[in-house]
Amino acid sequence: MKKYITILLIFLSIFGLISIVIITFQNPLRKSEENIKNDLLKQMPLGIDMHDVMKIVNKKNTWNIIWVSEKHGIVIGRNGPSTVRILDDEINVGKKSMCVDMGYYYKYFFVQTDVSAFFAFDENSKLIEIAVSKSMNVL
């Protein structure tokens, strides 16, 4: 009887480990920034209104709007998107903007990777660019 219980426990442990690995690696936030951007553009094509983007974001359970600006666009440079121009080779995009926290995932079990999307809009509140940024925090 002990032999069967041991075999069952080993089987359940292996099944549980495989399940965790499969679920972990299917997280869409693990995709590259470019692939996440392409996925976002499928949901929110260029030219869509800022309020429509906000409606789509608000329907997502794990996404949160961090800020919305009617006064400035985003800055895109080699260090990723931001709202502050630091280097000469960075470019300003848009007249309005929005930052969305898309969530996070763990890399190596102790490194949290946060994923944010930055949306740039023109003066008529039409989407003209999306930039995705990942930042890592060691716990």
The structure's pTM equals: 0.78
* Lowest mean pLDDT across 15-19, 41-45, 60-64, 124-128: 15-19
Per the model's pLDDT, the better-predicted residue between 87 and 115 turns out to be 115
Are 80 and 94 part of one and the same domain? yes
- Predicted local confidence at residue 120, as pLDDT: 95
The domain in which residue 86 lies consists of 32-138
Do both 18 and 38 map to the same domain?
Answer: no
User: Looking at the DSSP assignment, which residues form a beta bridge with residue 77?
Assistant: 80
State pLDDT tens for residues 75-114.
876 656 655 444 455 678 899 999 999 999 988 778 899 9
Mean pLDDT of 40-55: 97
Q: Collapse the DSSP code of 6 into the 3-class scheme (helix H, G, I; strand E, B; otherwise coil) and give the result.
A: helix
Q: How many domains does the chain have?
A: 2
Give pLDDT, residue 22.
Answer: 57
Same domain flag for 95 and 107: yes
Nearest to 72 by CA among 58, 80, 57, 82: 82
- Examine the domain organization and report whether 64 and 130 are in the same domain: yes
Q: Report the sign of the C-alpha dihedral through residues 49, 95, 136, 65, in that order.
A: negative
Q: Are residues 17 and 72 in the same domain?
A: no
